[in-house]
Chains A and B, each alone.
Chain A
């Protein structure tokens, strides 16, 4: 292939039609010069006129006190015209600038990309691979602390952009390493509508459910290194849906939002499904507002319903499975305070959530062997309460209390001794943290915790963590 450089091409063309080219250029140049001259003349005239008026005014002012008032008006008129001329010139400049700044090329439409680096160093008393929450049916999710010592943690890679005038797309992947194998997990891939009428919004794909308060926040937004025990036990450690979400914001001064979701329900508290249709439904309502300039609040009530079929879990080396109906209620609140609403120096946040679950159905003990079956009933509950205080710019301290109750457990005809993890126990945990954020994009955190998730085995934990965000960093939710 041969390339002809445009300069060479122009030269060749100019050589081929010298007369025409020069004639056109001459004519253009002449015209341009003419215009320039006219412009210059008109501006000179205007400036001269202004100067003349200014001079006249000065003369008048110096002549007599009687004409001083008149002179004042003329002077302000002059100043006013000067302001106008200035503003016109600036406008022309702004227009020229915006033309010059206009981005070009395909990359101008690239989605916003953000990368979150999140690494941890832990000092644990107990082996994290034996982590369990006693008194609760295991969720199968990643709920334990990371390995002892240094660990890579999870890096989040997120993309988002408006697809067109109707849709916005979001994708978020988490990159981690599991036993030396690199893993990519799809955290969120969804589209949401931009132009639904009447305050409605529809989201489709994989998304973090709108139930509760913390569920929609990504790990880098958490105020502690790990999720509250209640989230670990009830959602292992959060409710992630593949499905549809519809939300509606009421047109009132008090913030009111209602939402409902239908989802595949393949994850805890649902189970893998082979059937058509949906396996998990949620409904939630949130309300919020301000108290004066300094305080803001939000409360919520949510419900999650699913019908898991053969949700299996391992206990003491034996595989068991639960089939039935699972219903979860969540009540949540958050209260934020900052003097005059200015959170840059000091601010305070109090948040808490309460979970209650009712599960009724059948439990099969040892699905691969004895396969003993019985009607069962569980009523666990739990919650957490946490307070965060920024006592000076960049520095925050926080405490968190977690509690869980295995509640009334009815195992029917099954032998309670065969299912040790379901034995009645109320796990507890206390955590405290201090973090330092030199900017909005970086955070270093020290957290200590006393975790009594395992019956009779307290685990004293020390965590060190950094969270760094690179690239486009979207605004956080309240």
Chain B
């Protein structure tokens, strides 16, 4: 029967994809070196074929899950016949092996997308880019096939039923969080491939940055959404209402995000002004390298994390070799081939060039700080200096002031001009915004909380400074237009992308500030019929009942929430016991709102008929993720800018890597 050999088909498709990736890695690159158009032409069909076979392999694994084929070890470990069908399809990336397969599939997908959208790129550039992506894919497919094969069988002793998917993963947030995150990680492979291709081909003109920018923005937007989803998931699923723990796994996703943010900005300078070329290339390599490093940290077991995958030294060694080869070789290519600096492209203090330089330096310092804090315990341990922990207090102490500094320059940047800007003019333009943000931020805590709070004011002044200076810039841009509508429409999508993205950060900062300072948390004991007041809301316990879910049993509490004596709504927190794993879980009751969340978690039965409850009032917590979505939207918006589709005409002009800034500025 065909269904019996599905795992073998998947395995076979994976091997075929590997072979195609191998050819894709070697032949087109050889073609560019020997100037053989036919060899270069191999790149596109191979990228498509590789993606096709990866998709087949992936579908085969999904089918095995849906058919409850517990003879496949991975299915047996991560599924159960009682698991709802939709979780069976998402359990595919519920653990290590399948998630690496998803990684590879996405890598193939990005390669396929590049091959489809590359009609405007010169042939040799396409060949080099796809060749580099092929090399990365070879590495990952070897990793899957040698150390993490999801199609391995448990024959002849197959289990009767599976061990079930970890209950933490049986949840919508975690269903979409990993794919988004991986799309981001893997997406940075495109700009990485562009950088390596550019270095090898010596083609690093303004056209190069124009090709690389949309891909970078897209990957960055995915990563932003992925990180936000992870934070949102931790918030409602882990049961204690935290949204960022500075866990190594979170840091692993933040590292490429920070470097990617720096890259987006330095690409802007390189495109507009032709300067910072080597720097941009280094950032492109760094960003993808940090994605790989994150993979290593999460999957090798060198760091302890709440979310780490199972430790396996063989896998750790393999990823380290992969990391070493990819990063080491690309940095070597960089060292050998990076273009000469041209000091001829001048700019002054307070010019946009200089402000973006400050932005880049700050973002790099933030990246280094997070990396240092994450690996420092490992460094000390490796040197035999004992075990320490580096956690939230350390990261907050350094990250918050650095963010503040970044925000100061973020306010100046959009209003400044390229090349040169007089301090007096900038001052005149932004004085109003500055004063207004300080005044509003100073008063806001009095109005909201009833008493002055320095930290709230500082946080809000940053957010307001970003927003008001953006508003001022927007006003300057449209005031000469005949009407507001015309003025607004004349602004480019890239500009709007910047506005929305920066606005997103301001929104996130408001969220962080408010929820950190005005969060109210109370642990109470409540018996049916009793009530308690938290932050002006009255929580009245109505009763408890037992409930049976598809693969768990639960104690459900019913709590009526009222305000000013008026009944508002009912909340039902749960304590679940997942049967297959015997694992207890909380299912918190959430009442989300734009200005506040109410958050109730059910604890233990205290014996005398009362239960422990954790009730939290979380003001502005939604703004955290709303801001992240805005940032991602900004990144996407910039992708649709028309100038990325005018590339072809320009690409045909012969441009060399050391074009003067003047020429590029015209282009």
* A-B interaction: no
